[in-house]
Amino acid sequence: MKRFLMAAVFIAVGAGVYGGWWWWQQQGSGANAAVGKGARGTKGGEALVVKAAAAIVKPMPVLIEAVGTVEPENSVQIRAQVSGVLQSVLFKEGDKVQAGQLLFEIDPRTFQASYNQAQAQLARDQAQLENARVQRDRLEPLLKREFITQQEFDVAVTSTKSLEATVAADRALLEQARIQLEFTRIRAPIAGRTGALSVKPGNLVAAGAGSGGAPLVTINSTAPILVSFSIPERQLEEIRRYQNEKDMRIEILPDRSGPTAAEGKLVFIDNTITPQTGTVVLKTRVQNRSEVLWPGQFTNVRIVLKIEPEAVVVPEAAVQPGQEGPFVYLINQEGQVQVQPVRVARQIGGEVVITEGIKPGDQVITEIPQALQPGATVRVAGAAGRGGAEKGNEKGKKGKSGNKVEGKTEG
């Protein structure tokens, strides 16, 4: 009897311990399930607060982007055409000069003496020519009267013609001496900005480019100026199709995310595609009156082919990369999140043009919470659930109807 009582006690104690353990496990599982539901933002937990934006309709450019190099439309290396001592420099390095402006002076004394000598020689031969003509004119009537022989008259005529040729040669020598003297005064052949001087006053300069020395100075034209850039050959046909349209323009941006610094027109398409790179070189001319562009500068080029009047636009932050392509987190009418694949046409600054996947007024999440999952219930920050979505839809519709277009069109 005693053994039976002890066995019953042990069984009762064991059953109580097992019951307590089972109750504790059930309570823990329920708590964990509640926490999980709340973190996923489902109907069983509190809705996640997210930031969202409505897809809007606005005019957006259709464009091609490239990287270009600024180059002068004209560039001239100034070299001496006569040898001599550089006497003076009449400008400062980096100055802006005009065409015809006097830049350098070379010691002219030797060339002045040669000019004076040629001038004197011409005067002497002109005097001899005048005397020969007088002699010829005097002998001509005497020949008619047969007071002189034909040979004597022919000698006078020949002497006159010889002196006429001598005078013509003297005139050519005088012109050559004048040109050599003029070369001692070096003028700017184009308007532009000067570079660094390679020779200072007092140094001997040699004539011609074959002397092996550096040019005295280089002048680059800066207004207007050219921007050279390359595009893939597959885009050449599209550019040629739009190049005569009035809406087509080329924008120059020193900083890709910054404002447009200048605009130009397409002036050159190379006649050959580079086989090694599969690209073709294009150039645009920019007036550059304020000299915002500088020769040798790298810059961003944006070719605006046309303006799409009603493009669907979302913020860049809303578009996410995926294995099957880009997508957005879309908030439906019930305030739930769904993954929506989209087709991206182009990105301009912080805005992305969408051609397929969403429509104007759709709410897309722009800041993705870590706990966000498809099907989760969310609430837009600053809006009361569904009411916020309805406001976003109304905003998008206004943009499409043209009553109200938000944002600034780039390009």
Please identify, among 155, 183, 211, the residue that sits at the C-terminal boundary of a domain: 183
pLDDT of residue 6: 54
Answer yes or no: is 157 within a domain.
yes
pLDDT of residue 3: 52
Answer yes or no: is 227 within a domain.
no
Please identify, among 149, 183, 217, the residue that sits at the C-terminal boundary of a domain: 183
The CATH number linked to 56 is 2.40.420.20
pTM of the model: 0.65
pLDDT of residue 328: 92
Please identify, among 116, 150, 183, the residue that sits at the C-terminal boundary of a domain: 183
Strands lying side by side in the sheet with 204-205: 185-187, 102-106, 84-89, 204-205
Q: What averages of pLDDT result for each successive group of 10 residues across the chain (411 residues)?
A: 50 53 44 36 64 91 91 94 94 95 96 96 94 88 84 88 94 96 96 93 83 82 95 92 85 84 92 93 94 93 90 92 91 89 87 91 89 86 50 43 36 32
Answer yes or no: is 390 within a domain.
yes
Query: 119 and 53 in one domain?
Result: no
pLDDT of residue 371: 81
Query: 324 and 393 in one domain?
Result: yes
The DSSP code sequence of 37-73 is HHHHT-TTSPPEEEEEEE-EEEEEEEEEEEEEEEEES
Query: 391 and 324 in one domain?
Result: yes
Answer yes or no: is 297 within a domain.
no
Answer yes or no: is 203 within a domain.
no
Answer yes or no: is 270 within a domain.
no
Query: 397 and 313 in one domain?
Result: yes
Domain count across the chain:
2
pLDDT of residue 113: 96
274-297 b/e (C-beta count within 10 Å ≥ 16 → b): eeeeebbbbbbbbebeeeebebee
pLDDT of residue 208: 76
pLDDT of residue 77: 94
Query: 52 and 115 in one domain?
Result: no
The CATH number linked to 173 is 1.10.287.470
Residue 396 is part of which domain span?
48-60+309-401
Answer yes or no: is 380 within a domain.
yes
Amino acid at 215: P
Answer yes or no: is 147 within a domain.
yes
The partner residues of 251 in beta bridges, in order of sequence, read 263, 302
